[in-house]
Structure formats: C-alpha cells, structure tokens
Amino acid sequence: MFEITAKQELNPTVVKITVSAPRIARKAEPGQFVILRAKAESERIPLTIADSDSEAGTITLIFQVVGAGTMELGSLVQGESLTDLAGPLGNPTHTDGLHKVCVVGGGVGCAIALPVAKKLHELGVVVHSVVGFRTKDLVMLEDEFRSVSDEMRMMTDDGTYGQKGLVTTALEELINAGNRYDEVIAIGPLVMMKFVSLTTKKYGIKTVVSMNPIMIDGTGMCGGCRLTVGGQTKFACVDGPDFDGHLVDFDEALSRAGMYREFEQRARETACRLFPKEAH
C-alpha cells in the first residue's frame, strides 16, 4: 500500500525515499512526522516529513542509517512497500507573522530544516540558513537550501568544504553583523541545538528547536518521548516536536538519549548480519 516510488542515497549514511501516501500528503505541514514500520517484524520509528506532494500523493522521508530499524528501512528498494505508515503526527512548525528568520540545520537534521525554510521562503520571509556537517562527504541538500535562502552559510567541522567551524560560529557572525531575527529555528543533534540555544539566549532571540527523542506510539500514552521544558513534563509526539530552546532541559534529554546507545549497537550488529551493506 505504501509503495516506495523513488530511492536515492544522499551521502554514505543518509537515504531519501519517496512513498505513496495520498492521505498523509494532503494534510502534511513542515515540522510534522510519521511513524512507520519497514517490515512486519520491524520496530516502529518516527521520521519527520521532508517534503510532500498533494497532487502526486507522495511524501518524502530522509533518514540516517544508524540502527536496526533504519537498516531494515534502507534495505527496501523502489517498488517495495512499507508495512505501516501513520501520520501526519505532531504540530506543524509555526511560520505565521515572521519577517526574518535564521534556520540552522545540522547533519541529517537539515532534512527537517529544509521544508521549514522552504515554507518561510514561500511566505515571503527573509530566510538566512546555516547548515553544518562533519565533513565534505556528508554534505547534502546544498542546492535546495540555496534556492530558498536569502543568505546561506555552509559549515564543516574539518573545513573540507565551505567555512571551517561550528554552526554557532556562523550564527553569531550573522547576529553581530546586525541581522535582527524574529526567530532562530534550530534542527539537528541535541548537542548542536543546545549550543545554538545558549548562543541566542545571550542576544534575547527567540529560538525554536525540533526534538526527536525515542517514540513508541506517537499519541503521548507511552511516555517514551517525555522531555522537561520550563520545568514541566512535555511529550514530543503531541506537545511538539517544536519547543522553546531556551526552556528545554538539554542535559536531561542528552542523558536519556545515551541510555539506549548500547542496545542500539547490539541491534545494529544483529541487523548488519541480516542486511549486508550492498543491500542498502
């Protein structure tokens, strides 16, 4: 039913698939996500909708192959179908009433940041984009970001492409150059969003982050995606995934994320034996 109509490797670890899902495509907005199972025995995994085409009835998903679930998803080829696909879930990213925004994306989080930047651009908002990767080989979606950005900074940790340094370096340069942003939207690894939020807090710039912790049911009932925001417990699947970055307890979120590393490594090693690299 949920047929993969196209598949592309964006870099050695990131895959883009287009999936037939007419009902989801009609309603999906930037910032929302789906929960899927690649195969009948697969785990449920949440993935943010990278793009949607209501006329074609398709959605685009971009994911990094990091564990058993994404390895199983990556093993599917064009013409095969997902077992389950539920969505759109979560709240759309707020885009109304903004005039100038800096969108900051890190790694595979750029796939989530791009539709937000695109929507803002379509609304006539001045969009500055800062995107960062560890190295040149991991760079993706550069042309797509440039097409929707009034100004763009490409960063790599090792300086093999674009400007050497972290996304926070470029963000602070833009702020100190006199840019007055209504909002900064940061999407990427937890540690990146933490330091973007710490940077913007110094300047009093509202900052929105997209949180993607472990999710199971996507309805808020299991509590697996709980976060502490402003001293209150929130659930990323129903209260988010977007939150005020200045209020998120990132240290707690980082600690919770680290709890699953050993399990994920064992699951990945098992999956590696089932799905050899050439199958991806």
Task: Tell me the mean pLDDT in the region 73-92.
Answer: 92
**194-236 pLDDT per residue, tens:** 999 999 999 999 999 999 867 766 666 777 788 899 999 998 8
pLDDT at residue 269 is higher than 70: no
Q: Which CATH architecture has domain 2-90+270-279?
A: Beta Barrel (2.40)
Q: Which DSSP state fits 141?
A: -
Contact between 237 and 220 (Cβ < 8 Å): yes
Distance in angstroms (rounded) separating the CA atoms of residues 116 and 114: 5
pLDDT at residue 275 is higher than 60: no
**pLDDT of res. 217:** 67
More confidently predicted of 262 and 66: 66
Query: Which of 207, 192, 209, 187 is closest to 254 using CA atoms?
Result: 192
Distance in angstroms (rounded) separating the CA atoms of residues 149 and 103: 9
Task: Tell me the mean pLDDT in the region 83-94.
Answer: 91
Instruction: Tell me how far apart the terminal alpha carbons of the chain are, to the nearest angstrom.
Output: 21
Which of 85-94, 219-228, 265-274 bottoms out in mean pLDDT, i.e. has the lowest?
265-274
Instruction: Tell me where in the chain the CATH 2.40.30.10 domain(s) lie.
Output: 2-90+270-279
**97-152 pLDDT per residue, tens:** 999 999 999 999 999 999 999 999 999 999 999 999 999 999 999 999 999 999 99
pLDDT-derived band at 278 (thresholds 50, 70, 90) equals very low
pLDDT at residue 265 is higher than 70: no
**179-191 pLDDT per residue, tens:** 999 999 999 999 9
pLDDT at residue 174 is higher than 90: yes
Report DSSP letters for 81-123, one per residue.
Answer: EESEEEEEESPPPP-TT-SEEEEEEEGGGHHHHHHHHHHHHHT
Which of 50-59, 121-130, 134-143, 263-272 bottoms out in mean pLDDT, i.e. has the lowest?
263-272
pLDDT at residue 280 is higher than 50: no
Contact between 85 and 39 (Cβ < 8 Å): no
- How many CB atoms are located within 10 Å of the residue 178 CB? 6
Distance in angstroms (rounded) separating the CA atoms of residues 274 and 117: 38
The domain 100-258 having CATH identifier 3.40.50.1000: the answer here is no
Instruction: Tell me where in the chain the CATH 3.40.50.80 domain(s) lie.
Output: 100-258
Q: Which DSSP state fits 247?
A: T
Residue in this structure with the two tokens 């833009």, named with its chain if needed: 174
Which amino acid is it at 129?
S
